[in-house]
Structure 1
Amino acid sequence: MKKLLLFLSKTDLDIYKECPQSAKDTQVGFGLFVLLTGILAFCSGTYAILNMFTEFDWKTETVTFNTSGYVIAPLLGIFYALMIIAIDREVVAAKSKTTALMRLCLAIVIGIIVAIPIELKLLEGRIEKQLIQNYKIENSNETVKKETAFRDLATKKSRLEKRVNDAQEKVDYWSKIMTEELAGRGISKKKGEGKVYRDAKRNMQLHQNNVKNETARLTKFLETEYRDEKESIEKKFEKDQVVQQFDLLSKFQALEQIVEEDKTGSTWWMSWGIRILFVLFEIIPSLIKIMTQSTEYDSMIEARRRMNIQLINTEANRALEDLENDDYTGQTVGNYAPKKHIHQIKTRIIT
């Protein structure tokens, strides 16, 4: 784990080994901040990309993510996180306070970019509620038309159901009279299948046919006209409605709308509090670089840099002197030294 943190802080391991513990801890701390920013960048980037695969069901008023989004978003999130880590490595590896100060602005920009998607995720419930509310307002006229059409269709269905129920009630009525006649408690007060019984039976059979006919009419209506007209109403609404988007920009605009409508200011404070928190994560390494004194590690890195420059200049000068004293120099062609001497210069500089 320590090797990973040292890699993220762009630490030279040879010099690191010669440093005191305090300087070592500083380098590990820089790597830790880079790692944390990378993790946050992964979450931020994944969520931002995932919002490209949102699906809104206007019937249930629910927002879901497409299955493919769960595959593509993490892959792009990893790429985004690696890019942020690469930039952060350069930020924390600033060789001087002046360089760190110049890179502080870059760190602030990166912090805001990383913070906004995470902020939207933390406030997602309230934001989606606002977007659904906006959807209802924008489609209020179309919703009224749809509900009126559904209500008329339901009225027609209820009318046919009532006719079936009325016919069935009459069947039950005449069936009861028949039962009472057989028991001797009916209108004629005589047991058996008398004239009243036969009339009741004939009326019951007549209404049974009505029940059958009305049921068939209702069934036909439900299977054809009702179903087709219902689908037609829904298709017309889908065609005429203003489709609500749930992408990253729409959610950010909804957040700004929530902030404006919140008279208490609590949403504004929470929104900016989240942003500032994640910006601090990003700029802390640069701030530490600016506010703290240079560590032994920084001094050794700077000393080695100067020494290498001096060594290169010395070896280059020595190589030129050797060329001037070399009898073979006279055999140069044009303004170019022989390959043998160029190789000598390279060898001396590198070694």
Structure 2
Amino acid sequence: MRKINHFFWFCSGVHVPTLLKTPSEHNKYAGIGATIFFTGLFAAIAGSYALYFVFSGSTYALLASISFGLIWGTAIFNMDRYIVSTINKMSTPFKQFLQAAPRLVLAILIGIVISRPLELKIFDKEIREQLKINYLNGQKQRIDQLNGSFDRKYNSDIVKLEGLKSELDSLSKTIKHDRQSLNFEIFGSKTAETSGMMGYGPYAKRKEEALKERERREEDLRSQISVQERFIKERRQIDGLLDEKLMTSKELDSIVKLAGFADRNEALGQLKYSDAGKTNASNYWAITFIGLLFIFFECLPVLVKLMSGKGPYDALINDEEFLVIYRSEQDKTTEVTVLDQVQSAKVSAGIKKIRSELEGITG
């Protein structure tokens, strides 16, 4: 425990010989040092994961992430240690806050940056499902855009095909009616369009000829429609519309694994809102509070120092600093006095030399 306490005292940036004179302050500064140490450790882990997430798949991703994590954690640790050790508890609370303000601002930025990759990992399953929806919607929009562009490009051919199909539908209904009318005429069924005489007479013959003419027109229409459909299908093949198909579940799983940071980050933001654009309260507050937790953890070393009261150690350090400054000023005063005396001696020697020279000239 003694070694651990000394290590945490080092982390807190205290002057150990002075701290040893105040036993009541030992635990306080061990706690402050532990907070600084674990903040740096946590920053190292988060920084390593963030870099590994960005460069996952690369040969040197693991080595680069560990190296970056150590550098990042050490930098955060050193910065926290410096700021905490330089906050003068003998000054006013406002002045203490001004000293800590830059670190608090930086802590907020660091907390936001570090929390994002970890949030992506925490909500990984939900993000994967959202990515599948996004990719499917994106593919549907692409297919719709291609179809819209194709329809505008071959509008006249499509209109012609629709016209032929409409004519064929109308003609098919007419042929069906004519067949029924011909049967009525042959079998002697009396209607408004038949004579009511049984047998194959002149009326039946005319109806049969009209029916055959319509059937020939029907065959011609079917042939034209077939040619037109084949032409449009070939155009669709050339323009690549037939190659655009919705992805299967396996294809979606494969592409989701390759999703980059930007796509995952966008999907995480979409989890906060429902399809109707309204806030999804559970996801929104969960993601928000995780980010706030990281920000608070980054600010914690400075907050602990600011919240701690004045103690004997702070008074001793303040007295020692005052004593050092006083001695330094005294040394400067003594040095200036000696220099003045030397300068006065030099001036007196110079005056005596000039007087002797003048006496020699006048003599």
- 2:330 corresponds, among 307, 310, 314, to 314
Is 1:259 aligned to 2:289, yes or no?
no
Structure 1 pair 250–37 and aligned structure 2 pair: CA distance change class (3 A):
farther
Counterpart residue identity of residue 53, structure 2:
N
Structure 1 pair 135–252 and aligned structure 2 pair: CA distance change class (3 A):
same
Structure 1 pair 106–72 and aligned structure 2 pair: CA distance change class (3 A):
closer
CA displacement at 1:32 relative to structure 2:
1.0
Structure 1 pair 82–322 and aligned structure 2 pair: CA distance change class (3 A):
same
**Counterpart residue number, 1:6:** 9
| Structure number, greater radius of gyration | 2
Structure 1 pair 104–302 and aligned structure 2 pair: CA distance change class (3 A):
farther
Structure 1 pair 52–288 and aligned structure 2 pair: CA distance change class (3 A):
closer
Counterpart residue identity of residue 264, structure 2:
K
Is 1:69 aligned to 2:95, yes or no?
no
**Which contiguous aligned blocks of 4+ residues in structure 1 show a shift greater than 6 angstroms?**
141-144
Percent identity between the aligned chains? 24
Q: Is the 8 A contact 2:272 2:280 kept in 1?
A: no
**What secondary structure is seen at the aligned counterpart in 2 of 1:139?**
helix
Q: Distance between the aligned counterparts of 1:292 and 1:92, measured in 2?
A: 11
Counterpart residue identity of residue 323, structure 1:
L
Q: Distance between the aligned counterparts of 1:326 and 1:142, measured in 2?
A: 92
Deviations 1:114-157 (A, max 9, x none): 3333222222222233224322332347899xxxxxxxxxxxxx
- 1:17 corresponds, among 16, 20, 27, to 20
Q: Distance between the aligned counterparts of 2:141 and 2:13, measured in 1?
A: 61
Counterpart residue identity of residue 308, structure 2:
T
Counterpart residue identity of residue 309, structure 2:
Q
TM-score when normalising by structure 2: 0.55
CA displacement at 1:326 relative to structure 2:
2.4
Deviations 1:160-179 (A, max 9, x none): xxxxxxxxxxxxxxxxxxxx
Structure 1 pair 142–109 and aligned structure 2 pair: CA distance change class (3 A):
closer
TM-score when normalising by structure 1: 0.56
CA displacement at 1:303 relative to structure 2:
1.8
Q: Distance between the aligned counterparts of 2:141 and 2:108, measured in 1?
A: 45
**Counterpart residue number, 2:208:** none
Q: Is the 8 A contact 2:104 2:299 kept in 1?
A: yes
Is 1:99 aligned to 2:96, yes or no?
yes
Q: Distance between the aligned counterparts of 2:260 and 2:320, measured in 1?
A: 51
CA displacement at 1:267 relative to structure 2:
0.7
Is 1:87 aligned to 2:79, yes or no?
yes
Structure 1 pair 255–286 and aligned structure 2 pair: CA distance change class (3 A):
same
Q: Distance between the aligned counterparts of 1:142 and 1:253, measured in 2?
A: 19
Q: Distance between the aligned counterparts of 2:59 and 2:72, measured in 1?
A: 21
**Counterpart residue number, 1:282:** 298
- 1:44 corresponds, among 38, 43, 46, to 46
Aligned residues: 226
CA displacement at 1:314 relative to structure 2:
0.7
**What secondary structure is seen at the aligned counterpart in 1 of 2:13?**
coil
Q: Is the 8 A contact 1:40 1:114 kept in 2?
A: no
Q: Is the 8 A contact 1:51 1:246 kept in 2?
A: no
**Counterpart residue number, 2:111:** 111
**Counterpart residue number, 2:28:** 26
CA displacement at 1:270 relative to structure 2:
0.7
**Counterpart residue number, 1:168:** none
Structure 1 pair 270–285 and aligned structure 2 pair: CA distance change class (3 A):
same
Q: Distance between the aligned counterparts of 1:318 and 1:82, measured in 2?
A: 43
Q: Distance between the aligned counterparts of 1:307 and 1:300, measured in 2?
A: 10
Q: Distance between the aligned counterparts of 2:121 and 2:143, measured in 1?
A: 29
Q: Distance between the aligned counterparts of 1:49 and 1:29, measured in 2?
A: 30
CA displacement at 1:301 relative to structure 2:
1.7
Is 1:250 aligned to 2:250, yes or no?
no
Counterpart residue identity of residue 119, structure 1:
E
Q: Distance between the aligned counterparts of 1:329 and 1:33, measured in 2?
A: 60
Structure 1 pair 99–107 and aligned structure 2 pair: CA distance change class (3 A):
farther
**Counterpart residue number, 1:220:** none
**What secondary structure is seen at the aligned counterpart in 2 of 1:298?**
helix
**CA RMSD in angstroms, aligned pairs only:** 3.1
Q: Is the 8 A contact 1:16 1:297 kept in 2?
A: yes
The 5 Å alignment of 1:106-145 reads 106-140=106-140
Structure 1 pair 329–274 and aligned structure 2 pair: CA distance change class (3 A):
farther
Structure 1 pair 70–35 and aligned structure 2 pair: CA distance change class (3 A):
same
